[in-house]
A and B are shown apart, each in its own frame.
Chain A
């Protein structure tokens, strides 16, 4: 056993006077000799996590200090690569391109230790930690003899390497200030090295400029094509550096020049990479042994230059299109833009997602220009409180505490305090990885359920202060608008729908769950539609009350009329979209019911399963069980609805046919509406790229609709054929397959349309 650590590591010495250290080696040895093999001594807080974190000494895969037989320290740690050696221009090119691959692999989520930090050139620059930027050099220690240094390496390659490290620093800084998941999205570990964060950006730019000038001065000594290729990489690096240096300052500059330039260099980079000659000995996995890490060296991550460039290209394009999000045009439009951009496939990289998170909210300001309070008020004005006095109350103007307006302002401040963050988070959650979005929304659903109840209390107090006139129901009861809780409920229903639909996207549901899940989706949609109708009823009533004033052409009344109409238009737009989802869900539900009835729907569970359908339903509904509203559908009711109990095949077919044709119309109407509310029709589209992505998504949905129509027709024919044949007891002559995510026939992530085709052999019942 090792001696006590205390002497070797004075930092660990316990300084408290009351603790007197005592050598327990003998006692420990004696006690451990009494243990049986396999016996575990642990306290009750020793968890599986800790067991997994344990390392086994002398196991080559776990012990970072382990040397194999015949290996010695020098061989294990040192590489005999000379970073001061001369390189041919082609080799410099080769090293640059391999470094770019490593940089992109790191962006993709691999650790620095297995990517960028495997370069011996970078190792030389970063270790020992340079005190000045001049220290960061390939010749360390700097030789006193005035040996002429090869400029291609010591100027050109060094400039490229230093700027690359600084680029990593910018990315690291942005990602770590935002919400990300370590290892899932990104590995932030720096292994006790610094990414030159203390050095000013100007130095790097100057160095790159010097390298470019030097290169331009070289005559025929370097092959023209190779020279051009190196030049193109230096230029690219400078612009990429500037683009990342700009970071969130883009909110001010609104400039995409640097990223656009990087994008424009892609073709040149691709064309010229074959000119490079790799220098594999300048990369080493052994450097990992010198990094501050408990993990033994792992294989170097190799990605192709093609994949690296593809990643880079997407990063630049996403960064450019991100500009379309920045122009504030109200919460509805922002939501459409953010979700569309972040639903791109592949999902925008973690850097872009972090950047968007910061832009959405930073220092309590949305997009760098709108206060969080104003943002929330804009949302309320768009949906539930157009031109309401609740949003005008202001304590600066009304200072008498007994004044109802003062009290309204007080209540609204409370509301803002409580709701602003959760509301902004509904935007920021789009920036998480797709799995985390679903998990996060399952969590926030519970929070919004509570928020809705709190909002209801506020609503009741506000309507007294505001003297809200009630609406009279037909039975003579009075009812009130409950604007804040109505809005919270609307948010919650959006989240319900998102959880269900992301479940389809993430391939969570087994085939036999599909009828039930599409039924449940339509159930949530119809609940939502009913809720939007309620909101609309109150806005229409307000609009009616405004009519008299409007007739008098009072300016205020005209303005009020306009904002009421805007809200009604938005509600109409939301209705169209939810009707589209609802109708499609109804159609797929009915289609799947028929497939299940005739035993042609594949099933994942067997008759010997340990769980019943009831237990599986309970598990599936777990995120919704704690929610008060909408209430959980009891299993018996769910089952009746999910199998359309009591409805004949004809009725179910009719239902599917009608619904799918309604769905196609509603999706067409949705497409025609476009993603954004526009103030005037003539206005130029301020977000063409996102607009196009959104439309592509809707068109894919429409393709899925057509696919579903065809499947319904196929089932219809097969059922009719069976009905007309003499022997109706035989099974339906169809085969069904469920297209996996990513397959060509899966037109849309959220719409699983079964492939239904005629079987070759008649199936037996």
Chain B
């Protein structure tokens, strides 16, 4: 999904500015938060997510969503991360970072890294085995951010996004033995609803934003 962040060398400046307030999403304030979140995230998308996509995440995993607020601004939300956590194909407990955005004029200050760390820490606290996400191969800033945190590119996804760009799947193992955890079926196999590999044309996959992942 969307990962727009342009951090600078986080290792050099690990502490983000202290004038920002980092908070966890609060469902009782959805009107206020979701509108701001959508505005922040939609800015970088040619095809916006419907309100259901936000609610899908926030209603079930609101505690894995974090926001960076600058109270000096009329629209205080300057950064957000949206994620989920659930067993992957009946196997490992997989965290998925669905969206990450930092307002353009606030980029380069380590805000995205701080938000992602908060999400990962929350997932670890809930006993996550691994974390996965996708990012456009042209989004070097986001790729660098995640790689610094220990993610590896596990595969490349051809023309994954609606704009025709390809993506990398980035994965982070948090425990030993995740790689050999059994899933309900072969992780490299075709999706459960598809026919056997190479047996003929595949049906259309789900929309390019997310296909085959996270669910």
Contacts and interface: CB of A to CB of B under 8 A. Distances in A.
Contact of B158 (A52, A179, A433): A433
A706 to B, nearest CB: 29
A620 to B, nearest CB: 6
B180 A625 contact: yes
Contacts of A42: 56
Contacts of B51: 56
A615 B176 contact: yes
Given A443-B186, A508-B153, A622 B207 contact: no
Please report whether the interface of chain B is mostly helix, strand, loop or mixed according to DSSP: loop
Contact of A47 (B177, B188, B215): B215
B158 A55 contact: no
A439 B213 CA distance: 14
Contacts of A435: 155-158, 166
Interface in B162-215: 164, 166, 168, 171-180, 186-190, 197-211, 214-215
Question: Which among B11, B174, B188 has the greatest number of chain A C-beta atoms within 10 A?
Answer: B188
A650 B158 CA distance: 43
B50 to A, nearest CB: 4
B152 interface: yes
Interface in B118-159: 120, 124, 137, 144, 147-159
B53 interface: yes
B37 to A, nearest CB: 12
A473 interface: no
Nearest to B27: A38
A181 B158 contact: yes
B152 A616 contact: yes
Interface string A61-86: 11000000000000000000000000
Nearest to A609: B150
Contact of B53 (A54, A185, A189, A510): A54
B10 A606 contact: yes
A604 B147 contact: yes
A614 B191 CA distance: 29
Interface residues of A, number: 73
Contacts of A439: 155, 188
B88 to A, nearest CB: 12
A623 B201 contact: no
Interface in A26-79: 37-40, 42, 46-49, 51-56, 59, 61-62
B179 A621 contact: yes
Interface string A615-642: 1101111110110000000000000000
B176 A618 contact: yes
A619 B60 contact: no
B21 interface: no
B69 interface: no
Given A38-B30, A184-B159, A608-B10, 4 more contacts: A38-B59, A184-B158, A434-B158, A439-B188
Interface of B: 10-11, 14, 27, 30-31, 34, 47-53, 55-56, 58-60, 84, 120, 124, 137, 144, 147-160, 164, 166, 168, 171-180, 186-190, 197-211, 214-215
